[in-house]
Amino acid sequence: MVTGILIAAGIVGAIGIFIGLFLGAAGIKFKVEADPKEEAVLNVLPGNNCGGCGFAGCSGLAAAIAKGEAPVNACPVGGDKVGAQIAQIMGVEAESSEPMVAFVHCQGDCEKTHEDYEYSGATDCRMLALVPNGGPKSCNSGCLGGGTCVAACPFDAIHIVNGVARVDKEKCKACGKCIAVCPRHLISLIPAGAREVVACSSVDKGPVTMKACTAGCIGCGLCVKACPAEAVKVENFHAIIDHEKCVACGACMEKCPRKAILINE
């Protein structure tokens, strides 16, 4: 009995040793040499793995940069500083890029907007968007205030203030996670230096917007007429500012009767 157990144990042990040696040899034979540039780039990247670059984490971006499939300044978290370091590793010139920040195109807080009914239930915005009338707020285009974007932000750069999401420009790294989860598509990336911004996303006709929110854009076009740089246009009853043309004169903001255009502070 004991002899049989010892023989079985010996056979299992021998098989284990053989498999170990085989795997070790196979590992050496089929080993893929890591690209030293890829490793160097990965060491420079911040390691947040936020996905804001469009790749699956920092390792994915490092591999793409090393292969020449992504620009050296593709990391929104690292910005120009990290881009310059990666450019040096890759032996190329670093192109400067204007930093971007997320902005919530809504200011329909508890004072400015109306509620059609009192809601009690799940606070996830993606669930709120499915309840009657798309949520309790009268404006079907405004911020639901459930905080889904807050939970998605890995940098603690967005918070709910008086029922509306607000972005902290100093903390925002333009990773885009808040943009991806907002069911109303209220958040976009704008240049960090952009001064005037349209804080509304409503595309309803003026009378409808006026009933729902006291700060909603009604598409009146006064901002378009006031802009000396032709940087403002109205589409679908909604004002849009071209930040590349904008000269930050403030004329559109002064003429807006609804105060839907404000300074991005």
Q: What confidence category does residue 80 fall into, taking pLDDT thresholds of 50, 70 and 90?
A: confident
Q: What confidence category does residue 30 fall into, taking pLDDT thresholds of 50, 70 and 90?
A: low
Asked if 143 contacts 163 with a C-beta cutoff of 8 angstroms, the reply is yes
178 in the same domain as 127: yes
248 in the same domain as 223: yes
The per-residue pLDDT for range 209-235, each reduced to its tens digit, is: 999 999 999 999 999 999 999 999 999
Q: Is the pLDDT of residue 133 over 90?
A: no
Distance CA 123, CA 176 (A): 21
DSSP for 207-250? HHHHHHBTT------HHHHH-TT--EEEETTEEEE-TTT-----
- CATH assignment of the domain containing 61: 1.10.15.40
Q: What is the mean pLDDT of the chain?
A: 88
Identify whether 68 is part of a domain.
yes
152 in the same domain as 222: no
Q: Is the pLDDT of residue 16 over 80?
A: no
Identify whether 257 is part of a domain.
yes
200 in the same domain as 263: yes
- CATH assignment of the domain containing 226: 3.30.70.20
Q: Is the pLDDT of residue 31 over 60?
A: no
Identify whether 140 is part of a domain.
yes
183 in the same domain as 113: yes
Residues 159-181 have a mean pLDDT of 94
Amino acid 10: pLDDT:
66
Identify whether 28 is part of a domain.
no
Q: Is the pLDDT of residue 90 over 70?
A: yes
254 in the same domain as 221: yes
142 in the same domain as 162: yes
In this prediction, what percent of the chain has a pLDDT beyond 90? 52
128 in the same domain as 83: no
> What is this structure's pTM?
0.78
211 in the same domain as 170: no
Identify whether 81 is part of a domain.
yes
Identify whether 79 is part of a domain.
yes
Structural domain span for residue 256: 194-265
Residues 123-140 have a mean pLDDT of 85
Neighbouring residues of 60: CB distance < 8 A, sequence distance ≥ 6 = none
Number of domains in the chain: 3
Amino acid 79: pLDDT:
85
Question: Phi and psi at residue 145, in whole multiples of 5°?
Answer: 70, 20
Q: Is the pLDDT of residue 142 over 80?
A: yes
In this prediction, what percent of the chain has a pLDDT beyond 70? 91
**Domain C-terminal end among 188, 205, 237:** 188
Amino acid 252: pLDDT:
96
Identify whether 250 is part of a domain.
yes
Q: Is the pLDDT of residue 189 over 80?
A: yes
What is the DSSP pairing of strand 232-235 with strand 196-198?
A: unpaired
Identify whether 61 is part of a domain.
yes
Vertex 176 angle, CA 248 and 197, to 5°: 20
Distance CA 113, CA 214 (A): 6
183 in the same domain as 125: yes
Residues 128-137 have a mean pLDDT of 83
200 in the same domain as 256: yes
DSSP for the chain? -HHHHHHHHHHHHHHHHHHHHHHHHHHHHTPPPPPHHHHHHHHHS------TTSSSHHHHHHHHHHTTSS-TT--TTTHHHHHHHHHHHHTSPPPP---EEEEE-----TTTB-BSS---S---HHHHTTSGGGSSBS-TTS-----HHHHH-TTS-EEEETTEEEE-TTT-----HHHHH-TT--EEEEETT--EEE-----S-HHHHHHHBTT------HHHHH-TT--EEEETTEEEE-TTT-----HHHHH-TT--EEE--
244 in the same domain as 179: no
